[in-house]
Amino acid sequence: MTDPDPFDEIVEHLDLDWNVPDAEPSVQPERPVEPTPPPPVINDPEAEPFYRQVESREPKPHRPGVLLAWLGILTGPVVIMLTGLIHFILPRPLLLGLGLVFVASAVYLFSQLPERGPAEPWWPDDGAQL
């Protein structure tokens, strides 16, 4: 005869007291549910807002200098690329002129960017800029 498995012996001697509840739920009397009142609305004009008041920034009207600078940024590389595609060689002075117009236009556009620094009232943490 073979020796019994130690696991089987442990299971045989286990005294598990399983109290399984009935399948039917207990019936409780229903109480009427009272609606919760909405939170009070505070219309105090002197209350401190929870966010920083920022004046809206309206878009600036297009200035002719900025539009001309964008034209200088875009036309130089496009002209050089198109003449290269049709195998036309541009004279060196014209290439130099297109390159200088591109650089001057880029410098002008960079100079028109708004300042972000100590002069701004909310510097250094101006939050998200949309």
- Domain positions in the chain are 64-111
Task: Give the model confidence (pLDDT) of 67-95 as tens digits.
Answer: 999 999 999 999 999 999 999 999 999 99
Give dist(CA 11, CA 126) in Å, integer.
Answer: 69
pTM: 0.46
Give dist(CA 72, CA 104) in Å, integer.
Answer: 8
* More confidently predicted of 100 and 44: 100
Quote the crossing angle between the two packed helices 64-85 and 92-111, to the nearest 10°.
Answer: 150
Give dist(CA 117, CA 95) in Å, integer.
Answer: 37
Which is nearest to 69 in space by CA: 104, 114, 33?
A: 104
Encoded tokens for 90: 């541009």
Instruction: Name the average pLDDT for the chain.
Output: 79
Instruction: Write b or e for each residue in 8-46: b if 16 or more Cβ atoms lie within 10 A of its Cβ, otherwise e.
Output: eeeeeeeeeeeeeeeeeeeeeeeeeeeeeeeeeeeeeee
